[in-house]
Structure 1
Amino acid sequence: MKADSTPCAFPASKRESGDERRIAVASAARQIIVEKGLEGLRTRDIAARVGINIATLHYHVPTKEALVALVAESIRHDFRTQAMRHPRVGKTGLEQLHMEFDDFRETTREMPELIIILTELVERARRDATVAEIVLPMHRFWRGQFVDIFRLGVADGSFRPDLDPEAGAMIATGALSDCWRRPDTSPSMIEQALAELERAFIRKS
């Protein structure tokens, strides 16, 4: 199932008009980041796409940092929605790893704009401490999910008993992030990378 391409920063089914406006602002900002990069993000362009004036835009996102935070929250919501479609409860470590890989495939195939936006945000975070405070917790959470998967897999026998969950998570997220950052990575190369990752972690019979 393909995630809605329009970001939703709030999961409630009934929203106030202010929430709808913030969703529209996040959507416009994401479109501009995809088209022009984070450096090309201008408040006047966002306001024009949403159909509001600058004063109204600043009411909802008074600073550039608030705008980046809103975009990041919309991305988190997209990933939460994706995860909720594929519950992990009761799954083995290996099954959960397969589900993470399936989510990765789905994102690269059906939500490529998320990859572009995340790459832009991560690159900016390297030189902007304010953006780093917003973006890096998302990456730490993602890595933490892999840590939990590897701990579970070691305990249930899915993975090598000598596997270090923290190191394994760093390897997995690093490899997947590299696939994201390389626009020339083909689907077949992604499949090869995922297969190699699995072989590195699973317990040999």
Structure 2
Amino acid sequence: MRPCTSGCRERRSSKSSFSSPTTVAGRSPTTGCASPRRSSPSWTAPPAGTPTMTSEWSSLDPAEKVDLWRQRFFEAQAAAEEFILGEHGEEGLAAWIQANSRITAELLQAQRPAGVSATDHFMTRLQRQLLLYDSAVTSEPQPSGTVLRNADCGILRYRKRAARAGVVLTFSSPCPYCQELNTAIAARYVEPDVTVSCEQAGDGCTWRAESPHAPGEDAAGSPHRGRAGD
């Protein structure tokens, strides 16, 4: 995660039970974390060194592209959540988690590579999502399944930097939304005998995908199948 570099002013919005800082015209810099509502946007001059429009053709370097794609995703994610919170409140946000989990599970089902179990696919996606924010994540295969240890969450690290920079954090923590959404996705997608759970500890968390059966087999010994259509 990174602090806002767009030159936009961060703003405070109304309270909610979920947590996320505001940045880039008041929008959330997190994935799967609820966004607060914002006031009308106001433009400020970009900081020194910010690229400006020219008549000459140019391209972004890879690092700039990564930063810009993150920012654009943050803005789109936050806009959707901001509308839901503003129009429908906490009940609307809970309904959005269920709808989001269904849509994502169906997408994962369509994208799953041949020969890869739904559980492995889900856990790999979750690991890559955490790595996107430079989290310190390791994957540990165990007899009962897979364990992802997120020792230093990039989202929480960003929030600390943002708070030190004077950003007002309106929610207490981004973790409940992240955990609720991803466990809801898993419940719709992974094999029926697999349980996905999360335990928060300090500035990180541990995700477990556990099954009482041997990997690759269900209770009857047949291959696992996803359940995106549940």
One fold, TM greater than 0.5?
Answer: no
Greater share of helix = 1
Q: TM-score, normalised by structure 2?
A: 0.28
Task: State the TM-score, normalized to the length of structure 1.
Answer: 0.31
